[in-house]
A and B are shown apart, each in its own frame.
Chain A
């Protein structure tokens, strides 16, 4: 158990819908990262938050957004869902954002999103 929790574990929805994925980082971790894992694209970095502020952005679509709340939990919002958004979405956390130097990232169990 990494100490990172994600809810829900599974989500089945229809195209055009909007969903919210939730992540609670390990106690004391200030950085939260979101990754998408699909069969064709592999593991792709989406976005990072550090202590409530957006820190880095990856291949995140404009239909997707995220935020980190004062209690450090984070939510990833996916809207106008398409079939191709079906994937595993992982959240990871690390102790701190030391500029230019990555700490170990601890991954949650993931949310499996299926868009029908």
Chain B
């Protein structure tokens, strides 16, 4: 079963707007990662946030983690058409192996 569940399943915005995607998970984790996947291509690692961190930034990306609510959000600011992709959160279970459990993803479309 999926550990992470992204919300919304699909998001369509205009270029320049901000995009926010949410991820909820079920068990205690060591860290949470966000990945991007362009249609049918490989996954590109965006950012990793550890369970003892609350917020992390990387360029136009901002990730928050709330372990009490078992949720995370990914904010992309000033979106561009090139940000069009599917975004996945992935978690590893605390006390488990290093395998990642992925959600089903949010499909983001940025319209020029």
Contact = CB atoms under 8 A, between A and B. Distances in A.
B42 A33 contact: no
Contact of B44 (A2, A31, A33, A42): A2
Nearest to A105: B100
Which size class do A's interface residues fall under?
20 to 34
B40 A58 contact: no
Given A42-B105, A100-B30, A100-B94, A56 B42 contact: no
A37 to B, nearest CB: 9
6 contacts: A31-B98, A90-B43, A94-B98, A100-B94, A102-B99, A110-B42
Contacts of A90: 42-43
A73 interface: no
Interface size class of B (residues with CB under 8 A): 20 to 34
Interface of A: 2, 4, 31, 33, 35, 42-45, 48, 55-56, 58, 88, 90, 92, 94, 97-98, 100-110, 112
Contacts of B90: 43, 105
Given A88-B40, A110-B41, A56 B104 contact: no
